[in-house]
Structure 1
Amino acid sequence: MAKVVVVGVNHAGTSAIRTLLSQNKNHEVVAFDRNNNISFLGCGIALTVSGVVQNVNDLFYSNCNELETLGAEVHMSTDVTKIDTDKKEVTAKNLETGNEMTVGYDKLIYAAGSWPVDFNIPNSDLDNIYVCKLFQHAATLIDKANEPGIESVAIIGAGYIGIELAEAYHQKGKKVTLVDLQERVVPAYFDTEFTDRLQADIRRSGVNLVLGARVTGYIGGENGQVKQIETNHGNYDADLVIQCVGFKPNTDLLEDAEKLPNGALVVDSCMRTTVPDVYAIGDTAAIYHSAVGAHRHVALATNAVKGGVVAASQINELYTVQLPSIAGTNAICVFGNMLASTGLSEAAARAEGMNVLSSFYVDNDRPEFMNDVEEVGVKLVYDKESLRLVGAQIGSYGNTPHTECIFYLSLAIQKGLTLPELAMTDVYFLPHFNKPFNFVISAILQALGLTYMKG
């Protein structure tokens, strides 16, 4: 039996506690979190704003009672203020009472998450300027979507959260401006073959997409409320501003651990940091990235949950349960574009200094004689010399989603497969579902100089 302290009880922490006590009920588990709720699925905020999800409370999948029933001692609204890794002690302060407590540990699971980046825009203290992370933010943003006085919405940051919120507020009848400093939307995940089409669809919908623009300030109106955003490309009306410019890991409490430049904690395949008996999971962790061949910070709920399972299993001496690598697999469904990516985009690979080529292939998903067919695009990014797959992107543009093909491409990247090896994957052919050479295999054959499938 071990005494385990868990710092942070959202996706990663919840996963760790559930796994720890499901495998071994004899542990003494003490958990702390600054928030007053756990397990909120932030990916559903935009769906709730638009009205697809009717009740925001449906986005919770666990609660303190469940964890306490398993045997954990959970302290909510409690801020961990100090971690002494020499003494193996954690000091925390109850934010409601002000009372402090110090507890020792045998093992520490650090899952303190991340927080939206504050980019210090002048007048950011005006009313109706928000970030998007917690349930409390979601509740406010949902209310604002239904306020008649909120006519124009400006969203800063055209990443996944920003684009999803832009679509949601547009669907609520708001005048939406989406601004980003980059020249393309989601450039970390997709190349121009997909972002050009997505950007055109965003603009076609009526959303004002402003790219390559720096926000320089906010302009207030009556009662101290924001009325416009100021950029180097001009000013835009905004009764509501949502800042979505990325997240920074909360890792200041572990000063002696090895970190990436952004503060993410470097972990091994067992989720162990460089500090003895300290594990890091969720948005705090930098995991080995199989496409890059180095540790990278990829803040995804999927990695958080898996990391929690691994850290807990390791503490429970189930040593075969590990997370050797990630590929950063992700997806988005907005403005009629169903997109998924894994590994590195071509632009990202070149930024890493990699010598890569790519193959982009667009085809119908099924034989044309089936009459009802839909368009799918795939891009494969691969090492020029070895032909090792380092990235893949899929765009599905019909009623039938084909993005789940990204799963086996992700596995190919994690296992270091080359295009010839991947071309020989044992796939099926059935006219109801696909072509003899499906769009992925066709992209591989094209890269290998075999283009006869178009003839």
Structure 2
Amino acid sequence: MDKGGARGTRERLVVIGGDAAGMSAASQARRLRGPDELEIVAFERGHFTSFSACGIPYWVGGDVTGRDQLIARTPQEHRERGIDLRLRTEVTEIDVSASRVRARDVESGAESWTSYDKLVIATGARPVRPPLPGVDAPGVHGVQTLDDGQALIDTLTATEGRRAVVVGAGYIGVEMAEALINRGYEVTVVNRGQEPMSTLDPDMGRLVRRAMEGMGITMVNDTEVTKLLTGDDGRVRAVATEDAEYPADVVVLGIGVRPETTLAKAAGLPLGDYDGLLTDLAMRVRGHENIWAGGDCVEVLDLVSGRERHIALGTHANKHGQVIGTNAGGGYATFPGVVGTAVSKVCDLEIARTGLREKDARRAGLQYVTATIESTSRAGYYPGAAPMTVKMLAERRTGRLLGTQIVGREGAGKRVDIAAVALTAGMTVDQMTALDLGYAPPFSPVWDPVLVAARKTVKELRSSDF
């Protein structure tokens, strides 16, 4: 066993997980405290560190030309900064009472214990892989790590057929549909929801479906996959539902992710309603002074609803890591929460949301009004003006902005940031109408679409008073 007593007064920080949250925490702690004061040991079961999982669909689709472009910092670069990074080493147990972790070498199977003074849990999320017949057949792929991305690219390169089925129509599902379209595949998306992009209200998701169908993607909604059929060679050949079969030379699972908290649960650490770790504002695991957690394995405070949520995004993971590393390194920082901002695209369609959907507002017990407007990304007379639809929710009594969703062409998606700032500031839609946003015909109509939506929402609020 690697005992801490031999280290003298030097503390040891152990990090479980070598991607965004874990290595951001390790790097920030190293900036604050040198190797003579703080030893940092990081365990990563995969081959890579500090990579962009969000970029994998664009690598698969050919927009990103190589895997290395998705790696922000290599293992060697971390080691050169004084971090003892142990690749292909999986932590299999956390012993909280003895302040130690058990790790197993993936290649040799050898196990050993490592003690810690401070622990960071950054185990990420695991893809949802339903227990369906045929789900483990060759040709069926999940997409979570660079290894997953490489395996899918290898399959696409080796496969002669050009029929692909994507199971699920969330962010990963629609992005992978685009990637496969870009590679010349005939794409069918099988989705259990009423419309694609369940992070939007159905009326906005309907716009996404129509656009995807216009791109040649076959959309099958309100449908459950029952099994994956295989051929005589054992490879996947079709996706089956209760009513139909959809031929497939390759299948991509885009059903979503869940917090990877198997270790934490076994160690008795507190989990929330979504099975994510619960932390305080300093990202310290509740009830444990020297254990922190961040990234896709935690639940975060929704600043709009006041409830805990699980949101798997690299932006949050990197911020968590900065906060954790600062605190573990002897400083002070907090992560106040999120408003649930996300943006994506499928081909030339941009999809964005922030804050609450209608069902989120109802679940939180909020009364609200909605307004939906159609506008353009630029002045209507300026070349390249593209259509967009903006939907806005506001609290009935106070007028407080509750959420915004945007679906449109070029120039639509990042406009959601205006609403994200307004949500964070607790602004009303009436206050938003007076925002001094930049204007010129190449960039916006005189009234930006977000402000047009705010104006219409104000009208809905006033009419609801009568």
* TM-score grouping bracket, smaller chain normalisation: over 0.9
| Residue aligned with 1:81, SS | strand
- Residue 238 of structure 1: CA displacement? 1.0
Q: What is the match of residue 315 of structure 1? A: 328
In the alignment, which residue of structure 2 is the partner of 1:49? 60
How do 1:253-292 and structure 2 match up within 5 A? Answer: 253-255=263-265, 256-274=268-286, 275-292=288-305
Partner in structure 2 of residue 10 of structure 1: 19
Partner of 1:390: 402
The aligned counterpart of 2:230 is 220
Describe the SS at the equivalent of 1:48.
helix
Give the residue type in structure 2 aligned to 1:311: I
1:174-218 CA-to-partner distances (Å, cap 9, x unmatched) read 221111111111112x22443222211211222211111111111
Cα drift, residue 372 of structure 1: 5.0
Conserved? CA contact 1:383–1:390, under 8 Å: yes
Q: 1:118 aligns with which of 121, 129, 152?
A: 129
Structure 1 residue 230: Cα displacement: 0.9
Residue 325 of structure 1: aligned partner:
337
Counterpart of 2:431 in structure 1 is: 421
Distance 2:443 2:344 in 1: 22
1:250 matched to 2:263? The reply is no
**How many angstroms apart in 1 are the aligned matches of 2:434 and 2:92?**
54
Are 1:21 and 2:33 an aligned pair? no
Cα distance between partner residues in 2 of 1:404 and 1:365 = 11
- From the superposition, tell whether residues 156 and 432 of structure 1 become closer, same or farther in structure 2 (CA, over 3 Å): closer
Contact map agreement 1:268 1:287 (CA 8 A) in 2: no
- Residue 147 of structure 1 is matched in structure 2 by 158
Tell me which amino acid in the other structure corresponds to 1:225: R
Matching residue's letter, 1:111: A
Alpha-carbon contact 1:191-1:346 (below 8 Å) kept: yes
Q: Deviations over 1:348-369 (max 9, x none)?
A: 3234443221121222334445
- CA 1:380–1:147 in structure 2 vs 1: closer, same or farther (change >3 Å)? same
Flag the 1:309–1:166 CA change in 2: closer, same or farther, 3 A: same
Shift of 1:312: 0.7
Letter in 2 for 1:286: E
Query: Residue 170 of structure 1 corresponds to which residue in structure 2?
Result: 181
Q: Which residue of 2 aligns with 1:437?
A: 447
Secondary structure, in 3 states, of the residue corresponding to 2:351? strand
CA RMSD of aligned residues (A): 1.9
1: CA distance, partners of 2:381 / 2:176: 39
Change (3 A) 1:448 1:20: same
Tell me the percent identity: 28
Q: Is the 8 A contact 1:145 1:169 kept in 2?
A: no
Deviation readout 1:307-326 (Å, 9 max, x if unpaired): 0000111123332x321011
Matched residue, 1:71: 82
TM-score, normalised relative to structure 1: 0.93
Q: Which amino acid aligns with 1:379?
A: K
Whole-Å Cα distance in 2 between the matches of residues 191 and 85 of structure 1?
42
Report the Cα offset of residue 150 of structure 1: 3.0
**CA offset at residue 65 of structure 1?**
0.9
SS of 2:320's partner is helix
Q: Deviations over 1:404-429 (max 9, x none)?
A: 22223212222322222323333243
User: For the residues of structure 2 that align with 1:356 and 1:236, how far apart are their CA atoms?
Assistant: 41
CA contact under 8 A between 1:364 and 1:375: conserved in structure 2? yes
Whether 1:133 and 2:136 are equivalent positions in the alignment is no
Aligned to 2:249, which of 235, 239, 243?
Answer: 239
Question: CA offset at residue 120 of structure 1?
Answer: 0.3
Q: CA–CA distance in 2 between the matches of 1:130 and 1:337?
A: 25
AA in 2 matched with 1:427: L
Counterpart-to-counterpart distance in 1, 2:365 and 2:194 = 21
- 8 A contact 2:100–2:115 mirrored in 1: yes
CA distance in 2, matches of 1:316, 1:104: 18
Q: Which amino acid aligns with 1:302?
A: T
Give the whole-Å Cα distance in 1 for the aligned partners of 2:282 and 2:418: 23
Alpha-carbon distance in structure 2 between the residues aligned to 1:192 and 1:450 = 20
| Structure 2: unaligned runs, 5 residues or longer | 1-9, 462-466
The one-letter code sitting in structure 2 at the alignment partner of 1:332 is S
1:77 deviates by: 0.9
CA distance in structure 1 between the partners assigned to 2:234 and 2:377 by the alignment = 53
Alpha-carbon distance between aligned partners in 1 of 2:416 and 2:326, rounded to the nearest angstrom:
27
CA contact (8 A) 1:49 1:145 kept: no
Counterpart selection for 1:181 from 156, 170, 192: 192
| 1:87 is the counterpart of 2:89 | no
Shift in alpha-carbon separation, 1:279–1:138, aligned structure 2, 3 A: same
The Cα shift of 1:163 comes to 1.0
- Structure 1: gaps of 5 or more residues: none
Residue aligned with 2:237, SS: strand
Q: Which SS does the other structure have where 2:459 is aligned?
A: coil
Distance in 2 separating the partners of 1:369 and 1:416? 35
Question: Which one of 210, 233, 239 corresponds to residue 229 of structure 1?
Answer: 239
